[in-house]
Chains A and B, each alone.
Chain A
Amino acid sequence: MQSIVEFKNIYKSYPGVIANDDVSFNIKEQSIHAILGENGAGKSTLVKILYGHVKPDSGEILINSDLAIINSPSIAKNLGINMVFQHFSLFESLTVAENLILGMNENISLSKLKDKSKTICDKYGFNLNLNSPISSLSVGQRQSVEIVRSLLNNPKILIMDEPTSVLTPDEISKLFKIIKNLVKDGLTVIFISHKLEEIINLSDYVTIMRNGKVVSTISTQNEDPETLGYKMLGYKVSKAKQVSDIDFSMDIFNIKNLSTQSKDPFTINLNTIDLNLKKGQIFGIAGVAGNGQKELMEILLNENDYEFTGDIIFKGLNINNLSTFQRKSLSISYVTEERLGHSAVPEMSLSENIFLSMNHKSEFKKGDFINFEKINSYASDVIKNFNVDTPSYNVKAGKLSGGNLQKFIIGREIMSNPELLILSQPTWGIDAGSEAFIKNTIVELSQKGVSIIIISHDLDELLEVCHLISVLYEGSLSNPLNVEDINISKLGKYMGGLFD
C-alpha cells in the first residue's frame, strides 16, 4: 500500500510551547492510523495543520506524493480531507438537513440531499431525522450528523479527533464497526485518542507523540495497553488504591427529589434525583457529557439561582436557599469543571485566586483589607503540599499548565478542611502524572473521613477511585452501583439510559 499522507518536518510553536517539533511520518492508504499521546502532546495541532485550520511554522505535507499547501479548511476539503471535531462544528439552532447542506462542497437540492444521506445512513447504520434541530439531539446523535456530513463529500481521508470521548461503551463499539466498514470501502481514517485499548482494538498503525515530538510509528499488532502506555508516557504510572473495609454509616449529604423545569431547550431538566452520601464515601456520577451534569453542578454550587424543587440536605440542615459562600462556610468545597475562568481567574496571581475562593473566611481579612500575609502563606502551603510546579505564588494562574493549575485548585479547596468535596471532571485534560497525584489525593482524603462527589465522563477514573457509581442520563440519576461488583456491560446499559 502506498502512502496517502506524508508529514515532513512539521514545526509549529505557540508562545511558550512547541506544539509540533520536527514531526515526520507517513499514513498508508486505506488504513486506520491512530495518533496517540497525552493531552498537550501535539496531536490536535498536527491534524489541524492537515485540515488547514492551523498554519505550520515550517514543514511540508504531501498528499498522494504531491506537495499540498493547505491554507484553509476549504482547500483541505477539495483535497478530499474531512474532519470530525472533538467539540462538534454543528450549528445548534439549525436543523440536521441545514447542517448537512452547509457541509457539502456542491450545491444540491433538498430532495437530492435526502436521497444521498439516506443511502449513507442505510449503508453504515446511522439513524438521522433530517428535520430535527441539532439542539434536540443527544451527543451521540450529533456525532452521527458530523460523520454523515463528512461522508457526503466522498472524502478520501477522514480525521476523527477523540471521537469516543463523548460516547457510551455501546455507541463506541457501533462507531468502530462503522469505521472498519468505511475503510473497507476505501477510506483512510486518522484517529486521535489517548485511550490505549481503543487504539489496539481499532487501528492498524499508531504514531505515538510526546511533548510535540514523534516517539515512534508502529504497527499495533504486537502491542498491548501496557507497552503502548509506557511508550506514550515514558514512565509507568501507579494506580490509586482504594481501601474497602471502611464502615459507612453516618449520613453527611442527601439530595431528595431534586427536579428542574426549565423551558430553555439548551439545558437538560433534572428529574427527581435522589442521592445519599455517607461520611468518608466517594460517590461517582458517571454519564456522557450533556446529560445534566452542568445543571446538577450549578444547583449544588448555587451560583445562578437555578430554580428547582426538592431538598438538598447537608448534615441534617436544609441548604436549598444558602448562597455559595454560606455553603462553603458549612465546609462544603467545590472544584468546577472549567479551570480557567471559573475555578481560577487566569489574569490574577495564585494568591489572589486563593482569596477569591476563601473570601468567606475572616482570617484572610483585616477589617476591609486583604490580609496578604496569611494568603501568601496559605498559597505557599498549597504549592508545597500539592507538588505545584511554579516559581512563586505571584505567578498568574493562566501561566500554569493544566495539570499544575488543577493541583493548585484542588489543593486550595482541600487545605480549607472540607467535610464534603464536590469535584467536576477533576482530571480532564491534564497530564498522567498530575492525574495520578490527584486520584491518590482523593482516595487519601476519603480515608480521613471526607465525603466526596465526583462528576466525570471518564469511567476509568470513576472505577479507580469511587465506592459507589451512579449514572446520569437525560437528567435522571440511576440507582448507585457498588464498584466492587460492577460490570462494564451493565454500566454501559445504564449510560444508554437503560435503568429504572
Chain B
Amino acid sequence: MRLLVLLWSLGPLLWQLRTSLLRPEALVAPLLEGNPWTLANYQLVLSGDPPFWRYLGNSTLVGLATTLLTLLLAVPCAYGLQKLRGPLRWGVGLALVGAAMFPTVLLFLALLEIARSFGLANNLLTLSLPYTALSLPLAVLLLRAAFADLPGELEDAARLEGLDLGQRLQHVLLPLLAPALASTAILVFLASWNEYAIALTWISRNDLLTLPIAIARIGGGSVFTIPYGAFAAATVLGSLPLLLLVLLAQRSIVSGLTRGAVKG
C-alpha cells in the first residue's frame, strides 16, 4: 500500500531524475537498454546565460519578500479581526474566504495594467506586492484562528502590567504564535515559489525570471525541439529546495492547516 502510494506520487518525479541523467541520444533509445549516466544536462543548465542559480535566487528573493510582507500585514489584520465584533467581523471573514478561493489567473489583466501604469513590471520586489495580496486571505484566516486559541486572560494580564499593543504582541502573543507563524510562512513561500500567471505577464527580462517561468521557457520553442534532458535537470534542481522544505516542515504544514481549517 505504502509502496503503491509512493510510486504514484514520486513516479513522475523519478522519471525526471532519470531523464536528467541521460544523454540526448539515450533518451530516444529503447527503454530497457543500459545507458551510461551523465551530468552533462546539469552542466548545460548551470552554465547557461544567465546560469540557473540566478532563477533559484530570483524565486528565493520574491518568496522571502512575499513571506515577510504577508506576515507584517497579516498579523495586525488577524489581531484586529479577532477583536472586531458585529456584522463587520462576519463580512470581512466571508470576504477573506471568498478571496482565498478566487482563481488568481482571472486577475492578471487588470494587475498587468497597474504594473504598466506605475512602472512595477520587471522588478522582483514589486512582484511581491500582488503575491502578498494573493497570500493574505489564507494567512489572515490561519493567524486569526491561532489568535483565537490564545487564552484571553493572558493579554488582559499583560495590559494590566501596562504593556501597549506593540509590546503585548512582541513579548506575549507572537512568541506563543510561533508555530502558527511558521506554518503560515511556509504556505505563503510555497505559493509564491509556484505562481505562474502574474510572473509570466509582469517579468519579461530574461535575468529576472522566476523559476516556473524559466523552466517553462526552457521547454518553449516548438513541440518537437523541447530539450527534455536540460529541462529535467532544471526540474530536479528547482525541486530540491522544495523537497527539503517539505521534508523539514511537513509536521508544521499539517498542524497549521488543522488549526486553520477547524476555525475556518
The answer to whether A binds B is no
